[in-house]
Each structure stands twice: as C-alpha cells, then as structure tokens.
Amino acid sequence: MKFADIPGLQTIKDLLKQSVRSGHIPHAQLFAGAPGCAALPLALAWSTYLHCTQRNDDACGMCAACSKSLKYIHPDTHFAFPAPSPKSGEEEKTRAENLKAWRSFLLEQPFGMPEEWIASLNSEDKQLSISREDSRKIIQALTLKPFESESKVMLIWCPERMHPSAANALLKILEEPPPQTFFILISYAADNLLPTILSRTQHVQVPLLTDEELSDYLRKVRPQANINEVVRLADGNLNLALRLLDEEENTHHQNLAEWLRSCYKRDYSRLVQLAEAFHEMDRMNQHLFLKYGLSILRESVIARSGAISLHRVRDQELEFVRNFSGVFSIPALEKAVKLLNQADYHLERNGSAKMIFMDLSIQLGEIMQNHHRT
Ligand SMILES: [Zn+2]
C-alpha cells in the first residue's frame, strides 16, 4: 500500500510524510476513526514510506524495501491482529497460517474491516483476540535490531481486542520502547481502549471520505458501476461502498446467467417474464445490465482466443465465461456484442424496454443455436 492508493485524506497524508522526512516520529501513534475509515491503509502506506530507500512524495514502489512492503513481507514491519486461538501443540503452525491469511487479506481487501477479516478465515472461532502468546512473540522480535531497514514498525490492528495480559505487556514496552521502533495502533473503537494506552499514544483522527473523494475513487476502480446510489448509501465508508458494488454485480451476474441460459434454450415463457422484469428496471439499471452483459461477452471473446484475463474476471464469472464461450463462435460473439449495443441505443431513444429485450433475446437464441460448435 502506498499513499497514492488511498483516496482523499490529503492533510493527514502530508502530516505523516512530513513526520518521516523530518525524523520527528512519535514512537507510538493511534490511528482512530469510525468503521470504514482508511486507518489501516494509512498505517500500511506509512510503513512502506518509512522503509523505502528512494522515497519522494510517496514511497517509490520499486526499491527492494518497497517490493517487500507491498507484499506485506518486510521483515521490519510486524503485525499484531486478532486471530483464531491455536489448538494446543499447534501454536507455531497456527501462527504461520494466521500470518499467511493476514497477508492475503491485506492484498485482497485492503479496505476491509474486522468483519471481512473474520469472514475470510472461515474459522469457527468468531471471538478473535490478540493473544498473550502472540504479543510475547512480537515483543521478543522488537528487542532485536532491525533486519534490513533503519527502523522497526509494529502495527497493532484492533488493539481493543487484546487479551488483558497482552495489553499489559504492550503498556510496558510503550513506556520504554526499544530504539528506532515505532508503534501504530489502529482502532475503530478507540473508546474501548485502556486510558493508560490512550495516554501513551499520539492520536491521529482519520475521517471518513467525503462524497466527492469516494465517488472519484469508485469511478476510477469500477468505471462500469452505477455509483451515485452507492455513494449516497455508503456515507463516506469506502469499505461499505465496495461491498455494495460487489453485491450489485452479483445480482447482475445471476440475472445475466439466467437470461442467457433461457435464450439458449429458447424458453419463451421464461424470456417473457424476464423481459417484464427488465421493463420494470429504471433506465440506468437497464443500461448497466446491458453493459455488464457486454463486458462478459467481451471476456468470452478473449477466452475463446485462449487468453483469459484473470485480473478482470472474478471466480464465479470466470467459470461462466469459460462455459459460455463454448456455445459461441468468435463471429457469433461479435454479432452478439453488436446486438447488445443496438438494444442499448434503442432504449436510449425510448423504445419499449419489453419489446427491445424480447427481440434481443430471440436474436441471441438464434445466434447461439446456429453457431453452436459441436
Ligand atoms: Zn521504495
């Protein structure tokens, strides 16, 4: 994570960079804010910046330190986070598994909250905590000299979930921190922290995003999505906004899959129902649905040519695209793309949505039947 990967929050970013450049870094900071704020990404970007050997306005992203920081494997950045407690005798194994899962979580959902972290673990143990043993290990590591960098960073995510004995150990080390060791506590419930911890940390209040910052960012990362409604609902919570968009995409995906299957089977009674449902959608959603259909058709063309772009297709879609590309030849896919574009154009000119959709369904069904590769 680099500062540039986080939308908005310019003032805080400037302050954090300034503290590194001037060398006046508080040895313990608390990044606190409401759920959905970018406190964790900021802490990650800060540690990348601190370790970077060619930093400028941001971490360079290229040096050896950055390449490790960006994968969350820099040996001088330590993490404490709530995790499932190990079965006895399997402590080391569990700790290694937890750390691996944590790195994947940071890579896949950098704006995720504790709920997403817990969900990603598929663990039966939902009462995650930062155990005494985990803290002991970390504190032990901090007493060593840095491995590669000039400083060590200790990021503690959700310190309010620390086991009391772990909190006491932390307090002790905060009183007498080892040299060149910087702590960042990241909390969405700072009110629940021990007053003694609060008094030993410098507070950085992380606000939620403004609607403008949120919509700028979403427009960049999800150019095909209908973001206005999501921005209104999310109220500055980036994590929530991304989850809402995922849900919307899932619904589109399910509808699209059913529709194309019905076209292929020429199930006219189902197609009439689907055309009625389509008719009921507002114009924006009709447009987005067709656009989503187009993106899947395009992926299918790519899949047919043998190069699946894994980056753009999610797992469930990938499976669908693979199966689906089998019933279309490339010229047929191109024809289908043209038909979807035409339908969108006719809708734009206020044609009857039901008629346009039905007509499109019949034509797609014909294409699929005629060009079936068997
Ligand atoms: Zn760098």
Query: What pLDDT score was predicted for residue 173?
Result: 86
303 CA from centroid of ligand 1 (Å):
36
Question: Which pLDDT does position 313 carry in this prediction?
Answer: 53
Q: Mean pLDDT: which of 216-230, 261-275, 282-296 is highest? A: 261-275
List phi, psi (to 5°) of 41: -55, -40
| Span from the CA of 225 to the centroid of ligand 1 (angstroms) | 33
Mean pLDDT of the chain: 88
* Per-residue pLDDT at 295: 80
pLDDT above 60 (res 312): no
Measured in Å, residue 259 CA sits from the centre of ligand 1 at: 48
Is residue 309 scored above 60 in pLDDT?
A: no
Tell me which of 74-78, 270-274, 284-288 is least confident: 284-288
> Nearest Cα to 289, choosing from 365, 356, 237?
356
Kind and range of the H or E run holding 53: none
CA–centroid distance, residue 2 to ligand 1 (Å): 10
78 or 139: which leads in pLDDT: 78
Pairing of strands 202-205, 181-187: unpaired
Query: What are the residue ranges of CATH 1.20.272 in the chain?
Result: 219-370
Instruction: Please give the distance, rounded to the nearest whole angstrom, from the Cα atom of residue 51 to the centre of ligand 1.
Output: 7
Query: Has residue 82 got a pLDDT over 60?
Result: yes
CA–centroid distance, residue 16 to ligand 1 (Å): 16
Beta bridge partners of 70: none
129-179 pLDDT per residue, tens: 898 888 888 888 888 888 899 999 999 999 999 888 888 888 888 888 888
42 Cα–ligand 1 center, Å = 16
CA of 20 to the centre of ligand 1 (A): 14
- Cα-to-centroid distance, 288 and ligand 1 (Å): 40
Identify which has the larger pLDDT, 188 or 164. Answer: 188
Q: What does the pLDDT look like over 110-125, one tens digit per residue?
A: 999 998 898 888 777 7
Cα of 150 from ligand 1 centre, angstroms: 14
CA of 111 to the centre of ligand 1 (A): 22
How close is the Cα of 310 to the center of ligand 1, in Å?
27
- C-alpha 324/C-alpha 302 separation (Å) is 12
* Ligand 1 center from residue 151 Cα (angstroms): 14
CA distances from 242 to 3, 226, 229, 234 (A): 19, 12, 12, 9
DSSP class per residue in 239-292: HHHHHHHHHHHHHHHHHHHHHHHHHHHT-HHHHHHHHHHHHHS-HHHHHHHHHH
Helix 268-280 / helix 353-370 crossing angle, nearest 10 deg: 140
| Confidence category of residue 223, pLDDT binned at 50, 70, 90 | confident
- CA of residue 41 to ligand 1 center, whole Å: 17
**CATH number for region 219-370:** 1.20.272
CA of 365 to the centre of ligand 1 (A): 54
**What value does the mean pLDDT take over residues 319-329?**
75
pLDDT band at 109 (very low <50, low <70, confident <90, very high): very high
C-alpha separations of 133 from 83, 213, 255, 272 in Å: 12, 40, 49, 62
Q: CATH code for 3-207?
A: 3.40.50.300
Q: Which pLDDT value is given to residue 311?
A: 46
Q: Which two tokens stand for residue 328?
A: 């279309």
Q: Report the distance separating Cα 218 and Cα 241, nearest Å.
A: 8
Domain with CATH 3.40.50.300 in the chain: 3-207
**Phi, psi dihedral angles at 143 (to 5 degrees):** -80, -15
Q: Are 128 and 82 in contact (CB under 8 A)?
A: yes
Alpha carbon 166 to chain centroid, angstroms: 29
Least confident segment among 247-256, 335-344, 361-370: 247-256
CA of 156 to the centre of ligand 1 (A): 23
